[in-house]
Structure formats: structure tokens, C-alpha cells
Amino acid sequence: MGKKQRVALARAMMIDPKIIGYDEPTSALDPELRLEVEKLIIQNRELGITQIVVTHDLQFAENIADTILKVEPKVRGDYNEKFKLLITLLISVFNN
């Protein structure tokens, strides 16, 4: 994990978050660092932290995710349902 990414995650963890969001956490990382990020996300999941990861790396997503919400830009009409699912997930996290 790059230095900036580690610092950002350490700062986020200091406030005991209910949710952590990641935007392409493995982009521009070599395979060894990618595995480090994967392990860290899995550790946080085991601690009960909800995490939302945006990635184009489907293999990475399959390795870390409990649930995958796949958005396919060429398919119209299903954005509404996927958006509702995401909102429902966020509401359930904040209500617990």
C-alpha cells in the first residue's frame, strides 16, 4: 500500500468508523502491495467494519467482498434498483 494510502487509512481508523470507503485502492500497485491491501480490507471486515470499495478489478472484488454490486453502464434501467440497494445498505449500517 502506498504511503499516502496508509496514512489516509490510519487517519480514518482513528475515529472508529462505521464505514470506510475506498476508491480504486489497488490502482497503480504492484501485486505484492495489492495483496497487502486485500489483507487489510479482510482484517477490517473481520473487525466488523463495513467497507464500500469501488474498483474495476473484479478478481480483487471477489476476494474481499461479501456482496458485489456490479454496475454495467450499457444496461439501462437497473441503476435505480442498484442505487436503492446501496441506500438500504447504508441506512442499515447507520441504524445499528
| pLDDT above 90 for 67 | no
Is 21 within 8 Å of 52 (Cβ atoms)? Answer: yes
Q: Is 68 left (phi over 0), alpha (psi -120 to 50) or beta?
A: beta
Q: 3-7, 39-43, 70-74, 90-94: which has the highest mean pLDDT?
A: 39-43
Find out whether 41 and 51 touch, Cβ atoms under 8 Å: yes
Write the pLDDT tens digit of every residue in 19-59.
Answer: 888 888 888 788 888 888 898 899 989 988 888 898 889 99
Reported pTM: 0.70
